[in-house]
Amino acid sequence: MASQEMEELVSREYTQGFVTDIESDTVPPGLDESTIAFISNKKGEPEWMLEWRLEAYRQWLTMTTPSWAHLDYPPIDYQAISYYSAPKKDEDRPQSLDEVDPKLLETYEKLGIPLHERAALAGVAVDAVFDSVSVTTTFKDKLAEAGVIFCSISEAIREYPELVRQYLGSVVPQGDNYFAALNSAVFTDGSFVYVPEGVECPMELSTYFRINAANTGQFERTLIVCDKRAQVSYLEGCTAPQRDENQLHAAVVELVALEDANIKYSTVQNWYPGDENGKGGIYNFVTKRGDCRGDRSKISWTQVETGSAITWKYPSCMLRGKDSVGEFYSVAVTNGRQQADTGTKMIHIGEGTRSTIISKGIAAGRSDQAYRGLVKVGPRAKNARNFTQCDSLLIGDRCGAHTFPYQEIGNNSATVEHEATTSKIGEDQLFYCQARGISEEDAVNMIVNGFCKDVFQELPMEFAVEAEALLNVTLEGAVG
Amino acid sequence: MLEVKDLHVTVEGSEILKGLNLTVNPGEVHALMGPNGAGKSTLSAVIAGKDGYEVTSGEVLFEGKNLLEMEIEERALAGILLGFQYPVEIPGVKNIYLLKAALNAQRVARGEEEIPAPEFMKLVREQLSFMKMDGSFLQRAVNEGFSGGEKKRNEILQMLVLQPKLAMLDEIDSGLDIDAMKVVAEGINSLRNADRAILMVTHYQRLLEHIVPDRVHVLVDGRIVKSGDKNLAHELEARGYEWVLEESAA
Ligand SMILES: Nc1ncnc2c1ncn2[C@@H]1O[C@H](COP(=O)(O)OP(=O)(O)OP(=O)(O)O)[C@@H](O)[C@H]1O
Ligand SMILES: [Mg+2]
């Protein structure tokens, strides 16, 4: 679809009023095996899928919440959460943008994420997740032509069961951790991407997640498989409107890169962080892992985290293939009373594997953040190399930043470098900018964006612009 | 234009400026000299609005407005620009970006549109070549890895782009080689006009040979103890500060 066409589609007059609420088909709060059967049935899933979910659920029941993360939050009542919510008419839900509830599009606009702008930019295909059901998928034809599969995970389970069965849980097993187990049991939507052998995906793939109905947990499951010599760049963005109750988000993202494949996964995460006392934000417990299964494969995570009340997230790479490459570029910004415990794990298994970690943490207000990184080099990972750089910038003196670099080196031919700095935003830098007429707020933004430059330049262009804007919004009123 | 009246300033409990008086009129170039630690940098920092200086009494007026009540950026937008003795490095922020943000802040404050990119580039390139600076300086991070002399040129480049009403230059001549001194001096001289005032802190007569001042002041121990014309600088160069101290003590 031409970008112009897209513009017209989304900018045309709304026929429905602005006040109409989207009706939800929501199950009552609570979780047991029948809830899971309900979800599986709703999704029209095959029997093996239900079994898989139940297996996960049974494992989850035996597990406990990880307590080691540098976070402080009240216990979550999993029985108070509703595990399924979908726009009422599941059968005739919109298949393209022009069928999308204008109210959804309008919400995107309000949140400053004009879908049409994004979609228009360089022909981005959009698979928006609204509550638990994917409501719109565009550019499918063009992708189909290239042989790329890009659809909701539910659709993939129905249409491409062999692929899903082969790869689902192959990177993040059901019982991997508490939140991954919960996700495996109750996931309701998410995206599936398969790029066939030798294909370079003709456009950047993009999914926007958002959470709408109150008290609805969001459990996406994303699976991206890049076959031999295939390439894809995937963008994920998240927003949520203001809420009074904390909301749980426990997504799982699995990436599989076969021989010479290249996956770039970028996230700009902008969930509601709660008010300045930390009330009402999103709890974000995500398991993201990439598996460089093939030789010379490469997986690159780039993330800009500005939202959530609580973030617990460690995008990781399993570097199995010989000479495979893992990268992690991260900017995490916390303000108010936000808490973030993020980082990455680079697991070097194959020979000649390389990884790079660049983490930039910015803490303002009374926020607290921790970087937790693990670099593990296995006995077979001859000549593995890692470079880690971890910088923290503090704004004001009531915030905190902590760095926990862990290294487990099981091979003495490995080269592992770690650099870390913590600095307060320089009074002298601020004065210099202000003495040139730049307001304190703009000066902070400028300095912070400069601090993050190494990461921003890894983001696709339009995402980088948005990331800067987000950072500025997040740090509003951080100084003075 | 600038009136400093009986200014007393305390830094971390000790009084640094002890009743300083200074008047600078439009069109004038003033040179501020004096021994190390006398309070010259303190004066320019207080005028620019830097934190950490407590004004215990006295007044600073700029075009009749009370500067001491204004925020740092308000002072800059009013037309006061401080050229730093030690310009700070800002990693990741492109030099050109800072320049543009500063210029646009001025324009917006005046109720004008932001400058169109081509016009801005033209302006900057002109001034850049005037300062004999390479185009690559625009793309580098602000002052990062600049040599001492390059930082000073960059300060003058900002002056040329931002066209302040009052330019304050703190030891702009320190660390400059002979050619750079000429370039910097030419830059400053090109700023001279009937509406603009320049206040330069310097230790050396050499700069004043290139930029001939209208007034020369000697600041000793927090006060201006002697003022004169350009010949005073010659005299200081030849005789040092000792005699001024004796004269003012008498
Ligand atoms: N932040 C500060 N804390 C403590 N003392 C300070 C501070 N800033 C300035 N001073 C003191 O104030 C006095 C005046 O300093 P100032 O930098 O104004 O001198 P100056 O005339 O510019 O000297 P120079 O010619 O060496 O540059 C010095 O004794 C200095 O140590
Ligand atoms: Mg000084």
Interface size A-B, in CB pairs within 8 Å, comes to: 81
Give the predicted TM-score (pTM) of the model.
0.75
Q: Give the structural domain span for B133.
A: 2-249
What is the number of structural domains in chain B? Answer: 1
A441: closest chain B residue by CA? B73
* Cβ count near A293 (within 10 Å): 24
- The pLDDT, as a whole number, for residue A76 is 82
C-beta atoms of A453 and B92 within 8 A = yes
State mean pLDDT over A256-265: 98
Q: Does A434 touch chain B (CB under 8 A)?
A: yes
Question: DSSP strand E in A395-453: where?
Answer: 400-409, 415-424
Q: A292 C-alpha to center of ligand 2: Å?
A: 58
- The pLDDT, as a whole number, for residue A372 is 87
Q: Are A260 and A295 in contact (CB under 8 A)?
A: yes
Q: Is the pLDDT reported for residue A472 higher than 80?
A: no
CATH of the domain at B63: 3.40.50.300
Q: Which ipTM did the prediction report?
A: 0.95
Select from B71, B141, B158 the Cβ nearest to the Cβ of A436: B158
Distance, first Cα to last Cα, chain B:
32
Q: Is the pLDDT reported for residue A358 higher than 80?
A: yes
| Residues of A in Cβ contact (< 8 Å) with B98 | 433, 436, 438, 446
Measured CA to CA, the distance from residue B4 to residue A471 in angstroms comes to 41
pLDDT tens digits, residue range B192-222? 999 999 999 999 888 999 999 999 999 999 9
Measured CA to CA, the distance from residue A255 to residue A233 in angstroms comes to 12
Q: A362 C-alpha to center of ligand 1: Å?
A: 33
Q: Does A438 touch chain B (CB under 8 A)?
A: yes
Q: Are A440 and A430 in contact (CB under 8 A)?
A: yes
pLDDT tens digits, residue range B8-31? 999 999 999 999 999 999 999 999
pLDDT tens digits, residue range A216-256? 457 889 999 999 999 999 988 755 444 445 577 889 999 99
Select from A429, A436, A446 the Cβ nearest to the Cβ of B76: A436
Measured CA to CA, the distance from residue B177 to residue A129 in angstroms comes to 63
In percent, the amount of chain A with pLDDT more than 70 equals: 71
Q: Are B116 and B105 in contact (CB under 8 A)?
A: no
Q: Is the pLDDT reported for residue A130 higher than 50?
A: no
- The pLDDT, as a whole number, for residue A456 is 84
Q: Are B80 and B109 in contact (CB under 8 A)?
A: no
State mean pLDDT over A107-131: 43
Of residues B74 and A10, which shows the higher confidence score? B74
State mean pLDDT over A74-86: 79
At a CB cut-off of 8 Å and minimum separation 6, what does A401 contact? A361, A363, A368, A369, A370, A371, A392, A393, A394, A422
State mean pLDDT over A201-226: 71
C-beta atoms of B51 and A440 within 8 A = no
**DSSP output for A89-134:** -STT--SSGGGS-HHHHHHHHHTT--HHHHHHGGG-EEEEEETTEE
State mean pLDDT over A135-158: 78
- The pLDDT, as a whole number, for residue A333 is 84
Angle of helix B230-239 relative to helix B242-249, nearest 10 degrees, comes to: 110
B95 phi, psi to nearest 5 deg: -55, -45
Atom 12 of ligand 1, nearest CA residue: B16
Q: B36 C-alpha to center of ligand 1: Å?
A: 8
Helix H segments across A12-94?
A: 33-42, 47-61
| Residues of A in Cβ contact (< 8 Å) with B49 | 434-435
Q: Is the pLDDT reported for residue B247 higher than 90?
A: no
State mean pLDDT over B156-177: 94
Site residues for ligand 1, CB cut-off 6 Å:
B 11-12, 16, 34, 36-42, 52
